[in-house]
Amino acid sequence: MTVNKWTAAEVARKVIDNEELFILDVRNHDAFEDWKIEGHKFEYLNIPYFELLDGVEEILPKLPPDKEVLVVCAKEGSSVMVAEMLSEAGREVAYLEGGMKSWSSYLEPIKVSDLENGGELYQFVRLGKGCLSYMVISEGEAAIIDAVRFTDVFTNFAKEKGVEIKHVFDTHLHADHISGGRHIAANTGATYYLPPKDATEVVFDYTPLTEGLNVKIGASQIDVNALYSPGHTIGSTSFVIDNQFLLTGDILFIDSIGRPDLAGLAEDWVGDLRETLYSRYRELAEDLVVLPAHFMIIDELNEDGTVARRLGDLFKENHGLNIEDEAEFRRTVTDNLPPQPNAYEQIRQVNMGKITPNNDEQTEMEIGPNRCAVR
Q: Please give the DSSP secondary-structure letter assigned to residue 145.
A: E
If we measure between CA atoms, which residue out of 16, 212, 245, 233 comes closest to residue 108? 16
Q: At its nearest, how many Å lie between another protein and the CB of residue 31?
A: 7
How many residues touch another protein (CB under 8 A)?
Answer: 16
Per-state percent for the chain, helix, strand, coil, to nearest 5: 35, 25, 40
Which parts of 96-155 interact with another protein (CB under 8 A)? none
- Among 1, 18, 33, 53, the residue binding another protein under the rule CB under 8 A is 53
Assess 364 for contact with another protein (CB under 8 A): yes
The CA angle 10-309-117, to the nearest 5 degrees, is 85
The three-state secondary structure class of 24 is strand
Q: Please give the DSSP secondary-structure letter assigned to residue 341.
A: P
The contact pattern for another protein, residues 316-355, with x = CB under 8 A and - = no contact, is ----------------------------------------
Q: At its nearest, how many Å lie between another protein and the CB of residue 51?
A: 6
- Among 1, 9, 18, 29, the residue binding another protein under the rule CB under 8 A is 29
- Among 28, 210, 244, 349, the residue binding another protein under the rule CB under 8 A is 28
Q: Choose between 68 and 97: whose C-beta lies nearer to another protein.
A: 97
Q: Which helix (H) or strand (E) holds 95?
A: strand 93-96
Assess 88 for contact with another protein (CB under 8 A): no
Question: Of residues 59, 72, 73, 252, which has the active-site annotation?
Answer: 73
Q: At its nearest, how many Å lie between another protein and the CB of residue 294?
A: 26
Q: Choose between 77 and 208: whose C-beta lies nearer to another protein.
A: 77
If we measure between CA atoms, which residue out of 114, 117, 124 comes closest to residue 145? 124
| Residue 197: C-alpha distances to residues 12, 173, 230, 325, 370 (Å) | 36, 9, 10, 29, 23
Assess 358 for contact with another protein (CB under 8 A): no
CA separation for the pair 271, 276 (Å, rounded): 9
Are the beta carbons of 93 and 4 closer than 8 angstroms?
A: yes
If we measure between CA atoms, which residue out of 268, 274, 259 comes closest to residue 375? 259
- To the query of whether residue 73 is one of the catalytic residues in this protein, the response is yes
Q: At its nearest, how many Å lie between another protein and the CB of residue 359?
A: 14
Q: Helix/strand/coil (H, E, C) string of 99-123?
A: HHHHHHHCCEEEEEEECHHHCEEEE
Q: Choose between 33 and 326: whose C-beta lies nearer to another protein.
A: 33
- Among 22, 35, 49, 157, the residue binding another protein under the rule CB under 8 A is 49
Strands, E assignment, 139-251? 141-145, 164-169, 191-194, 207-208, 214-217, 222-228, 237-241, 245-249
Q: Choose between 33 and 152: whose C-beta lies nearer to another protein.
A: 33
Q: At its nearest, how many Å lie between another protein and the CB of residue 78?
A: 4
Q: Which stretch binds another protein (CB under 8 A): 43-51, 171-179, 271-279, 280-288?
A: 43-51
The contact pattern for another protein, residues 56-85, with x = CB under 8 A and - = no contact, is -----------------xxx-xx--x----
Active site (catalytic) residues:
73
Residues in contact with another protein by the rule CB under 8 A: 28-31, 48-51, 53, 73-75, 77-78, 81, 364
